[in-house]
Amino acid sequence: MHKSKILVVDDEEIMRCSLSDWLKEDGYDVLAVEDGYQALEKIKKEEWDLAIVDLKMPKMDGIEVLKRVNKSKPGLPVIIITAYATVDSAVMAIKEGAADYVVKPFNPEEISRVVARLVEHQRLIKDNIHLRKELTKRFKFQDLVGKSSNMLKVIEMIKTVAPTNSTVLIRGESGTGKELVARAIHELGPRKKFPLIAAACGAIPESLLEAELFGYEKGAFTGAVSQHKGRIEMADNGTLFLDEIGDISLKTQVDLLRFIQEREFRRVGGNTPIKVDIRIIAATNKHLEKMIAKGEFREDLYYRLNVITIEIPSLRERREDIPILAEHFLEKFSLSTGKTFHGFSEQTMQVLVDYDWPGNIRQLENSIEHAVVVANEPEIHTKFLPQMLVTLETQRYETKPYLSLEEVEKNHILTVLKTQNWNIKKTADFLGINRVTLYNKIKKYQFRKK
C-alpha cells in the first residue's frame, strides 16, 4: 500500500526529530528540512501529500512558504504550527490557505488526528483525480459495459441527466453498480473538475453519521480535539454521493432534509451556518415506498431525492451481458496478476450465463478473480470457479454420465436464448437456423422467459 508522504519544515532540530518520529510511527513516509528554501526545492522536485510548516523561521517564515506552496502546488495541504498563537496569526494562516493551524506544545495524539484527517481528505481527492484521468482517457462506463437493451437504457439515461445539476436517485440490488453509475454521472457532468465524495450511510454507525456528514467543531464532544470537515463540506462545488440512503435514521433524515432544502448546515457543536454548492446523488437497494408506508422513511425527503430515478437491472435481467463482463474482468485480473489466458471454455461460459448471480456484478467480478488466481492453465475451466458455481455445474452435467443429443440441444438453445436476451432473430442467426425452426424448438422444450 502507498505510504503518504509528509514534509516537515521547522528550524528547531528537536521539533523536526519529534514530529518525524511520531509520524513515522503512524506509518507515513516523512522527510524533515530546516528552512523554507529547502522545503520549496523538495516540493518542486517531488510529490507530497501534506506539509507541516513552522510559522516563525529565519530566512523565510511559514506564511511566505505557504503562499509559495499555494502558487506552485495549489492542491497540497499545509498545516501551520507555532508557539506564538495569536488571533491575527491564525486568521492570516487560514486566509492564505492553510489547511489547519496547530499551537505548540501539542501531543502526538493531537497531531496524529489532524494529519490523518487531512491525509484521508487528500487521498479522496487524488482518487477522484485518478478516476477522472482514467475515464477521460477511455470512458466506457467501466463495468457498466453491455449490449443488453436494459443496460443501454441505463447508459442513455446517464448521458441525459449527467449535464444537468438535478438530484438523482439510483435504485438497484446490491452489487449492480450503483456507485459506478454515480461516478459516471459526475464525470460526464459540469462538476467533473471537483471531487465526488461518497458516504456509505449503511456502513457508518448511526452515532457517527451526523459528524461524518456535517463535520464538527473542536470540543463538540469527547475526542473532538480539532475542527473536522464533514463529507458535505468536502464535496463543495462537486458531487455528494449518499449510498444506502434507506439505512439512515429518521433523525438524520430530518437533518438531511433541512440541508437539501436550504443548502446550508452547521457543524456539530457549531453555530455558524455554512453554505455549499453541491449536486446530490443518492442510491438504495431498499423499497423506499414500503418504508414510507411503515413510517421508516420520510415522504418529503423521498420526493426531494427522487427528482430523477435510474433503475439498474440485476445481472440475471441482462444475461447477454455476462460474457462481455466476464471477458472484461478476465482481462482486468490477468493484467493485475501477470497471467495470460486465452478465454473461457464453452462449458464455463454456460455456467456463468445460467447462474442467477444474487450478488450481481460484484459477485461475478469476485468469481472471475477467484478463477484467475487459482487457474494453472491458459483457459478458464469450471474447476477454477468458486465452489458454489462448481456445485451448480456438477448438478447440471454430472448427475448423468452422458447426455442425449436432445438434452445437449435443449441446453444449448436455452443458453443462447439467455445470452441474446430472448431476441428471436439474433438467437436464430447465432444458431444458424430460421426463426420458424427456433419457435418450434421453444414450443417443443416448453421454454419460458423468466
Q: What is the pLDDT of residues 96-106, one digit of tens each?
A: 788 888 887 77
Residue 401: is its pLDDT beyond 70? Answer: no
Q: In what side-by-side order are the strands of the sheet with 196-200? A: 196-200, 239-243, 279-284, 168-171, 308-311
In the chain, the domains with their CATH numbers are 5-120 (3.40.50.2300), 139-313 (3.40.50.300), 317-445 (1.10.8.60)
Name the band, by pLDDT with cuts 50, 70 and 90, for residue 137. very low
Task: Look at 139-143, 212-216, 428-432 and tell me which has the smallest mean pLDDT.
Answer: 139-143
Residue pair 186/239 in contact (Cβ under 8 Å)? The answer is yes
Q: Which residue has the higher pLDDT, 221 or 34?
A: 34
**Rounded mean pLDDT of the chain?**
85
Q: What is the pLDDT of residue 356?
A: 86
Q: What is the pLDDT of residue 413?
A: 85
Residue 398: is its pLDDT beyond 50? Answer: no
Mean pLDDT of 172-198: 91
Q: What is the pLDDT of residues 1-17, one digit of tens each?
A: 568 899 999 988 888 88
Residue 138: is its pLDDT beyond 50? Answer: no
All three cell numbers of 70, joined, read 499555494
168, β-bridge pairs: 281, 308
Q: What is the pLDDT of residue 375?
A: 92
Name the band, by pLDDT with cuts 50, 70 and 90, for residue 135. very low
Q: What is the pLDDT of residues 152-173, one digit of tens each?
A: 888 889 989 999 999 999 999 9
Name the band, by pLDDT with cuts 50, 70 and 90, for residue 238. very high
Name the band, by pLDDT with cuts 50, 70 and 90, for residue 90. low
Backbone angles phi, psi at 414, to 5 degrees: -65, -40
Q: What is the pLDDT of residue 229?
A: 87
Q: Which residue has the cell 459495459?
A: 145
Q: What is the pLDDT of residues 34-83, one digit of tens each?
A: 999 999 999 988 889 899 998 888 889 888 999 898 888 877 889 988 77
Q: What is the pLDDT of residue 228?
A: 84
